[in-house]
A = this chain, B = another copy of it.
Amino acid sequence: MRRDEDSPLSLPGGGEVDSAQAPGEGTAVLGLERKLAGKLLETMGNPPFALTLWDGRTLEPAPENPVARVHIRDRGAFYRLLRHPDLHFGDDYAAGRIEVEGDLAELLTVVDLTRQQRHGHGGGRPGLTSRLHRARRNTLSGSRENIHHHYDLGNDFYALWLDEDMVYTCAYFADPEMSLEAAQRAKMDHVARKLRLEPGQTVVEAGCGWGSLARHMAREYGVKVRAFNISTEQIAYARERARAEGLEDRVEFVQDDYRNVTGSYDAFVSVGMLEHVGTDNYRDLGAVIDRVLADHGRALVHSIGRNRPIGPMNPWIERRIFPGAYPPSLSEMTEIFEPYSFSIQDVENLRLHYARTLEHWLARYDANEEEVRRRFGESFVRAWRLYLSGSIAAFRAGSLQLFQMVFTRPTGNELPWTREYLYPAQAE
């Protein structure tokens, strides 16, 4: 996110309160406004947090044991919240016009759970959100722009709060108390085991981040990997580390779109890319896998997902943090497999692992807040804190899932009889 460019006062898309017409800020809260605030909380199912308005007074009745206290610092933020809370809470939080006293992730978890209880099936405004969504198509050039926005913020930035291997996807906490570093290695091993890699085999990876999985598979499983990514900064980093580790002959990093993958491979893997592909392109992704996977091949797709298709995740995240991102439901994911010759072998939902991963990231991020502030400014610090906390909330509350899907060709019978091989004695 670039400050100034995306200020909440110049939001695209229309429908916002015109600040010229909104009541002036700093003035006393009107009786009508207290009623509107009460209505807002009611719409949210009255989640147990305290709400303080810009006159410093807390809305009555306040809940008995509030998980946190939300301060709306001015009238403009209040009216924007009424209009479209999912979008404007983020912008006004980032700008400091909304502040939270207490555990932000816990607050957002409770809000999410309350909403689910109230709306049953997730609620939301599919009409509006899908219109917003359509603005950010993942065409070849659209994807480049979208990916650049998020992943090219600078490797140094991500190094402040990711693990030492720079893995920016859900870890696997075989033991919930293991370190982030250990859990990321456990994830890479879990993926590699699911792919049943054998020395000398070839693997193609679509969307390789900073290359940690590609290097891990080459180093620990003796396979040859071609890994694709369109992020300039990530590819440069990935190549540099492969050189430093002497893995150049076994890992090739290609700066190109997954749609341009060629060749034939024993395994296809994609961890954390599908979120950026867009449902419109799932058939194309399936066609790519169908084209490059050998007859005896194994494929794994690891992606954030949802329990049902209801538009993009949070519109603020989609606009400010992850343009073009969309977490699919299982029915949407089947568009990748069912038009082609594939057979689903295994699906595992690891949502609690992502909540845990994000807790580690947030703790490291908070510890490095000063450095982030120095480089990007206060509003950026707050926006990313909100993004990490909101993601923790979504995985804790069960409104986001993490699906790992393993699939093969339909006809081969070289399948393991049980999944016990995924669970060797945990002696790590």
Partner of A307, one of B329, B343, B352: B343
B residues less than 8 Å from A339 (CB atoms): 121, 308
A419 proximal to B (CB < 8 A) = yes
- Interface pick from A92-100, A161-169, A397-405: A397-405
Q: Is the CB of B349 within 8 A of A343?
A: yes
Task: Give 1 or 0 for each of A396-422: 1 = CB within 8 Å of chain B CB.
Answer: 111101010000011111010111101
B residues less than 8 Å from A261 (CB atoms): none
B residues less than 8 Å from A417 (CB atoms): 173-176, 352-353
A348 proximal to B (CB < 8 A) = yes
A161-203 CB contacts (< 8 Å) to partner B: 173-176
- Interface pick from A222-230, A234-242, A330-338: A330-338
A264 proximal to B (CB < 8 A) = no
Provide 12 A-B residue pairs closer than 8 Å at the C-beta atoms, listed in order of the A residue: A116-B410, A116-B411, A121-B339, A175-B417, A307-B337, A330-B338, A331-B331, A331-B338, A346-B347, A418-B423, A420-B426, A423-B423
Q: Is the CB of B174 within 8 A of A121?
A: no
Beyond contacts A308-B339, A344-B347, A346-B348: 16 other A-B pairs, Cβ-Cβ < 8 A, are: A116-B341, A116-B410, A120-B341, A307-B341, A307-B342, A309-B338, A330-B337, A330-B338, A331-B331, A343-B349, A346-B347, A346-B349, A397-B411, A398-B412, A398-B413, A399-B410
* A121-B340, A338-B308, A343-B349 known; A411 vs B398 contact (CB < 8 Å): yes
B residues less than 8 Å from A419 (CB atoms): 348, 419, 422-423
Q: Is the CB of B338 within 8 A of A334?
A: no
**A113 CA / B412 CA spacing, docked (Å):** 10
A313-362 CB contacts (< 8 Å) to partner B: 329-331, 334-335, 337-349, 351-353
Q: Is the CB of B413 within 8 A of A396?
A: yes
B residues less than 8 Å from A345 (CB atoms): 348-349
B residues less than 8 Å from A413 (CB atoms): 352, 396, 398
* Nearest CB on B from A347, distance (A): 4
Max chain B Cβ within 10 angstroms of own Cβ: one of A120, A338, A396, A403: A338
**A175 CA / B308 CA spacing, docked (Å):** 36
**A403 CA / B405 CA spacing, docked (Å):** 13
A412: nearest chain-B partner, CB-CB:
B398
**A211 CA / B101 CA spacing, docked (Å):** 56
**A162 CA / B422 CA spacing, docked (Å):** 32
Q: Is the CB of B307 within 8 A of A410?
A: yes
* A399-B410, A417-B173 known; A334 vs B343 contact (CB < 8 Å): no
